[in-house]
């Protein structure tokens, strides 16, 4: 057995021997260094204690993009009532909607994915149990009697030093739960990002004039950035995040107040008339207002010289529209033309644009102010990260690629993303070293940039 000294991880080579035996001898030299490096996560979400004790089925549901919106496959509110109901309620709802068998069917397929089978092996080595899903969940439940210590172990094992926390997805949690998570991952630091849609969620239901809406939008946005008033759950923000692309597709900046005002008036008239589940009707009604808000927010980013993250690729079906998420739909915001001048704010398309990875990479190649972020693809395409990282490095400068996980719900997503991100990044960099396109030192410096340096310089973290 090969022993390698490594910061943080005691058993990272366990379960790796097959993989290692197929690698070029140079790989071990690269991997030894890369695996010990710190990580900054450019885009990720809160973990709550609600997944501390779980079942195999529930775990699979919560970790996957297929499973987590399972409630939307039943009439509004039914799935939550079933989840939280007593035995009699569960029985009645099951009879009416066939909930248990539908969820079991969905999660059975997810459990048959290579991703889940690989995850089970990896977690079994971390937890010291048999590589079966049931055994992993049993060992995890035992370990999670002290949940926050377990979460802290996962973060330390892959050496997280900073996360950029998008507080726009919290499953109803507030400041207390966010701080609880942030405290649990110490010494890793958490730096918050403000999502535009959080402000819209607060203001869209209000019966107020457009002037008041506009004024409150700007005030709230600045509070979230500066950490004044309610701030971003009581703290300042280091950048912003927008979810506009999956709602409307091509984003053209909008400066015309008259158009935005008309959109606000239409929203007021139809607010209680359109079902929240009619996604196209909802997005169409507020499209111009959202473009106007986005433009105000991007102007603020430009003024402060902070980046705007934009949800791209990925999906989060069935709530948002898959066909809208083409990375090239971001070209107008990368340019951000005004008075015939491209002002070029710092744009971070998220999720590697997956599955349109090549388009996201090409956009980042062409526009100097456009960056490349690796989340969702990392960790969900597991072993194929090697090919994807090769594809990204074809055209995106190493100084513009940023590691991220987009971890949510399940803390092991942070761990897997870090573990696999480092492993397959080392494999891709080794390919360059062996091929002579990068020197060993250039490859290691590339890993440093991708894993933490680029994030720190872009967000000006100390």
CB 407, min distance to Zn ion, A = 9
Cα distances (Å, whole numbers) of residue 20 to 291, 305, 403, 431: 49, 43, 23, 14
Q: Which residue has the tokens 């995040």?
A: 241
Q: Which is nearer to Zn ion, 402 or 433 (CB)?
A: 402
58, 83 Cβ separation under 8 angstroms? no
Which class for 233: exposed (0-12), middle (13-18), buried (19 or more C-beta within 10 A)? buried
First to last CA, the chain: 40
Q: Which is nearer to Zn ion, 406 or 431 (CB)?
A: 406
In angstroms, give the least distance from the CB of 406 to Zn ion. 4
Distance CA 132, CA 136 (A): 6
**Cα 79 from chain centre:** 24
Closest approach, Cβ 48 to Zn ion, in A, equals 15
The least CB distance from residue 408 to Zn ion, in Å, is 7
CA 14 distance to own-chain centroid: 28
Residue whose Cβ sits closest to Zn ion: 406
Q: Closest CB to Zn ion among 237 and 261?
A: 237
The answer to whether residues 321 and 346 touch, using CB atoms and an 8 Å cutoff, is no
CB of 238 to Zn ion, least distance (A): 15
- Cβ nearer to Zn ion, comparing 373 with 406: 406
Q: Judged by CB under 5 A, which stretch of 120-128, 142-150, 223-231, 401-409 contacts Zn ion?
A: 401-409
Considering beta carbons, is residue 170 or 261 the nearer one to Zn ion? 170
167-186 binders of Zn ion (CB under 5 A): none
In whole angstroms, give the CA distance from residue 141 to residue 139: 6
State the nearest-atom distance from the C-beta of 90 to Zn ion, in Å: 31
Select the span of 91-99, 104-112, 292-300, 405-413 touching Zn ion (CB under 5 A).
405-413
If you ran DSSP here, which 8-state letter would residue 127 be given? H
Size of the site for Zn ion (CB under 5 A): 1
Strand partners, 309: 241, 348
DSSP for residue 187: T
Could you give the dihedral angle defined by the CA atoms of residues 72, 76, 78 and 83, in that order, rounded to the nearest 10 degrees? 60
Q: What radius of gyration, in Å, describes the C-alpha atoms of the chain?
A: 23
Pairing of strands 337-338, 308-310: unpaired
Q: Which is nearer to Zn ion, 324 or 430 (CB)?
A: 324
| Shortest distance in whole angstroms from residue 172 CB to Zn ion | 16
Q: Does 214 help bind Zn ion (rule: CB under 5 A)?
A: no
| Six-digit token string for 369 | 């102010």
Contacts of 120 (CB under 8 A, 6+ apart): 131, 132, 133, 136
Shortest reach from residue 45's CB to Zn ion, in Å: 6
Closest separation between CB of residue 243 and Zn ion, Å? 9
Q: Concatenate the DSSP letters of all residues of 384-400 into one string.
A: GHHHHHHHHHHHS-GGG
Candidates 157, 197, 300, 406: give the one binding Zn ion (CB under 5 A): 406
Q: Least separation, in Å, of the C-beta of 72 and Zn ion? A: 18
With CA atoms as reference, report the closest residue to 354 among 335, 373, 382, 333. Answer: 373
In whole angstroms, how close is the CB of 280 to Zn ion at the nearest point? 22
* Binding letters toward Zn ion, positions 30-59, x by CB under 5 A: ------------------------------
Asked if the peptide bond before residue 416 counts as cis, ω within 30 degrees of 0, the response is no
Site for Zn ion in 112-141 (CB under 5 A): none
Would you say 126 or 169 has its CB closer to Zn ion? 169
47 vs 133, which CB is nearer to Zn ion? Answer: 47
Smaller CB separation from Zn ion, 82 or 294: 294
In the numeric block, the tokens 């991100």 are attached to 421
Q: Specify which residues 375 forms β-bridges with.
A: 378
Q: CA angle, 72 as apex, 69 and 75 as ends, to 5°?
A: 160
Least Å distance, CB 316 to Zn ion, is: 9
Q: Which of 33-41, 138-146, 149-157, 403-411 is the region at the interface with Zn ion (rule: CB under 5 A)?
A: 403-411
Distance between CA atoms of 375 and 406, rounded to whole angstroms? 5
Interface residues with Zn ion (CB under 5 A)? 406
């Amino acid at each position: 057995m090969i022993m390698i000294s490594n910061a943080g991880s005691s058993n990272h080579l366990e379960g790796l021997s097959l993989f290692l035996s197929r690698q070029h001898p140079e790989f071990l030299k690269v991997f030894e260094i890369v695996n010990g490096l710190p990580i900054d996560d450019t885009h990720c979400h809160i973990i709550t204690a609600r997944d501390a004790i779980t079942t195999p089925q529930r775990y699979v549901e919560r970790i996957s993009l297929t499973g987590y919106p399972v409630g939307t496959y039943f009439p509004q509110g039914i799935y939550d009532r079933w989840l939280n109901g007593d035995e009699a309620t569960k029985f009645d709802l099951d009879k009416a909607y066939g909930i248990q068998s539908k969820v079991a069917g969905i999660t059975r397929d997810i459990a048959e994915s290579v991703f889940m089978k690989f995850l089970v092996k990896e977690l079994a080595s971390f937890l010291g149990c048999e590589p079966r899903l049931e055994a992993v969940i049993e060992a995890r439940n035992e370990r999670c009697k002290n949940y926050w210590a377990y979460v802290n172990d996962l973060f330390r094992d892959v050496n997280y030093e900073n996360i950029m926390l998008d507080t726009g997805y919290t499953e109803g949690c507030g400041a207390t739960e966010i701080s609880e998570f942030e405290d649990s991952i110490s010494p890793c630091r958490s730096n918050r990002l403000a999502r535009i849609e959080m402000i819209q969620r607060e203001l869209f239901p209000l019966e107020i004039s457009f002037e008041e809406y506009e004024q409150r939008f700007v005030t709230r946005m600045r509070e979230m950035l500066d950490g004044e008033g309610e701030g971003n759950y009581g703290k300042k923000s280091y950048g912003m995040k927008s979810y506009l692309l999956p709602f409307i597709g091509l984003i053209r900046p909008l400066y015309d107040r008259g158009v935005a005002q008309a959109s606000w008036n239409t929203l007021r008239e139809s607010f209680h008339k359109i079902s929240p589940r009619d996604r196209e009707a909802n997005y169409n009604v507020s499209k111009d207002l959202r473009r106007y808000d986005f433009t105000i927010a991007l102007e603020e980013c430009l003024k402060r010289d902070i980046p705007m993250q934009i949800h791209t690729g990925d999906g989060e079906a069935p709530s948002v529209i898959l066909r809208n998420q083409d990375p090239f739909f971001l070209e107008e915001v990368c340019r951000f033309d005004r008075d015939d001048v491209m002002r070029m704010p710092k744009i971070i398309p998220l999720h590697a644009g997956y599955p349109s990875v090549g388009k996201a990479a090409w956009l980042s190649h062409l526009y100097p102010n456009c960056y490349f972020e690796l989340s969702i693809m990392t960790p969900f395409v597991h072993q194929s990260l090697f090919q994807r990282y090769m594809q990204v490095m074809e055209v995106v400068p190493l100084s513009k690629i940023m590691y991220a996980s987009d971890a949510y719900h399940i803390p092991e997503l942070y761990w897997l993303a870090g573990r696999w991100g480092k492993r397959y990044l080392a494999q891709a960099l080794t390919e360059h070293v062996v091929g002579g396109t990068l020197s060993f030192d250039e490859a290691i410096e590339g890993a440093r940039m991708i894993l933490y340096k680029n994030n720190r310089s872009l967000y000006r973290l100390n």
